[in-house]
Amino acid sequence: MKYDQLKLENQLCFPIYAASRLVTREYQPLLDKLGITYPQYLVLMVLWENNELTVNDITKKLILNTNTVTPLLKRMEAMGFLVRERSVNDERKVTIKLTQKGHQLREQAASIPQQLIEKINNQKLDVNQLLELKNTLNTLIEVLNK
């Protein structure tokens, strides 16, 4: 067929997109118990690693636009998980810091990755396959994020 390259089954993007949506769906019941969304979970993970970052640092780490992250951070501040502060040295920069509530959520979230792996591992994939997939996807992200 002249347009085989346009068949959904021949696309690289579709299985990545579908897998991403399905993995996020699996996370959601676990995150609902914490009262957070998946994007909020991503922000928290970055802050748990670094404790204090600028908005630009967060956007780079999560490969998101500022106009996506800023409203998310405002909601998280209203929820009491973090504070946003303008830099004294450069008024254009906003620093994000976890509150005590944000730090405490880390303990509750600590088991989430293992719960997800156990659920997937009970199906057709083992941990080594998942690690190989993660490494391959990280390489793809590196190649595309230039």
Q: What CATH number should be reported for the domain holding residue 58?
A: 1.10.10.10
68 lies in some domain: yes
pLDDT attached to residue 92? 87
66 lies in some domain: yes
Mean pLDDT of the chain, nearest integer: 93
The stretch 131-141 carries a mean pLDDT of: 94
- Residue 85, token pair as written in the block: 């502060």
What is d(CA 50, CA 101) in angstroms, rounded to the nearest whole number?
A: 16
pLDDT attached to residue 95? 95
- Residue 17, token pair as written in the block: 């997109």
76 lies in some domain: yes
What is d(CA 35, CA 32) in angstroms, rounded to the nearest whole number?
A: 5
- Percent over 90 (pLDDT), the chain: 81
pLDDT of residue 121 exceeding 80, the answer is no
Q: Is the pTM of this model over 0.85?
A: yes
Provide the domain count of the chain.
1
Q: In this structure, are strands 94-98 and 82-86 parallel, antiparallel, or unpaired? A: antiparallel
Which DSSP state fits 5?
A: G
